[in-house]
Amino acid sequence: MIAATLRPDAATALIIVDLQVDFLPGGRLAVAAGDAVVPLANELAQRFGTVILTQDWHPAGHISFASSHPGQVPFATIPLPYGPQVLWPDHCVQGSAGAQFAPGLDVPHAQLIIRKGHHASVDSYSTFYEADPAIPTGLTGYLRARGIGRVVLMGLAYDFCVSWSALDAVRDGFETLVVADACRAIDTGGSLAQADAQMAAAGVRLCRMADVGG
Ligand code: VGL
Ligand code: ZN
């Protein structure tokens, strides 16, 4: 881990990734100890003026659901036109209880919610680009228009939506940090080791809660 300290300023945004009921213990795609990061999000958010929430937001029958592919099972990987796709249990269906934010999430000053994965035939782990990288969410333009040059990410899951978002943030020229102890991973098929390697190679900096000043 590359330690980094930072003081959030007007050019820094916090992005809280997918703290939703379906990713918490008891949810449809539960991340182990995912609930542990909810209070960390609340605490971290107090240190930032610009806070963005992301929300996984799939239509029923989404292409990332194993149930949409007869004979397939969750956590298998299949080829799709935009690349390999891990198949998941049905989760974060638009408007469902599981798609709501974690009950303990308390970030009333968040200014933007990015919903992603809403195209039926394209998944979107990243909050910047869908799995088809030709489809942007618009977040880069929003951040640029507000003079944001640095993003700090935390949330669920470290090895999917957090790391893919971090890699795209670097690609679009943002200084990018991930608060590692405020994330939890799914870790399927080597995804955790791969996320670590890709983020290190791309120049994503990892830090801890204690490194983020107020
Ligand atoms: C996520 C798998 C499927 C995530 C979302 O939030 O990391 N993972 N959809
Ligand atoms: Zn999803």
> How many domains does the structure of the chain reveal?
1
Contacts 24+ apart (CB under 8 A), 185-188: 185/31, 185/157, 185/158, 185/159, 186/29, 186/31, 186/157, 186/158, 186/159, 186/160, 187/159, 188/75, 188/86
**C-alpha 167 – ligand 1 centre gap (Å):** 15
Q: Is residue 55 domain-resident?
A: yes
Instruction: Provide the annotated active-site residues.
Output: 18, 116, 161
Query: Is 13 in contact with 48 (CB distance < 8 Å)?
Result: yes
- Provide the pLDDT confidence category of residue 4 given band limits of 50, 70 and 90: low
The secondary structure element, H or E, covering residue 198 is: helix 191-202
Q: What pTM was estimated for this model as a whole?
A: 0.97
Q: Is residue 71 domain-resident?
A: no
Query: Is 177 in contact with 151 (CB distance < 8 Å)?
Result: yes
DSSP 8-state code for residue 164: H
**C-alpha 76 – ligand 1 centre gap (Å):** 14
Q: Is residue 161 domain-resident?
A: yes
Instruction: Compute CA distances 163 → 46, 78, 157, whole Å.
Output: 23, 20, 8
**C-alpha 43 – ligand 1 centre gap (Å):** 23
Q: Is residue 66 domain-resident?
A: no
Query: Is 11 in contact with 150 (CB distance < 8 Å)?
Result: yes
CA distance 194 to 214: 31
- Provide the pLDDT confidence category of residue 5 given band limits of 50, 70 and 90: confident
Domain enclosing residue 26, as ranges = 12-61+91-211
Q: Is residue 97 domain-resident?
A: yes
Which ligand does the CA of 34 lie closest to? 1
Q: 5 or 113: which carries more pLDDT confidence? A: 113
Q: Is residue 67 domain-resident?
A: no
pLDDT given at position 170:
98
Q: Using a 6 Å cutoff on CB, does residue 157 contact ligand 1?
A: yes
Which ligand does the CA of 166 lie closest to? 1
* DSSP-derived 3-state class of residue 161: helix
CATH label of the domain that carries residue 105? 3.40.50.850
Residues around ion ligand 2, judged by CB within 5 A, are 56, 117
Q: Is residue 78 domain-resident?
A: no
The secondary structure element, H or E, covering residue 38 is: helix 38-45
- pLDDT tens for 131-162 read 999 999 999 999 999 999 999 999 999 999 99
Query: Is 50 in contact with 111 (CB distance < 8 Å)?
Result: yes
Q: Is residue 83 domain-resident?
A: no
Q: Using a 6 Å cutoff on CB, does residue 156 contact ligand 1?
A: yes
For the chain, the first-to-last Cα distance in angstroms comes to: 22
Whole-number average pLDDT of the chain: 96
Other Cβ atoms within 10 Å of 126 Cβ, number: 28
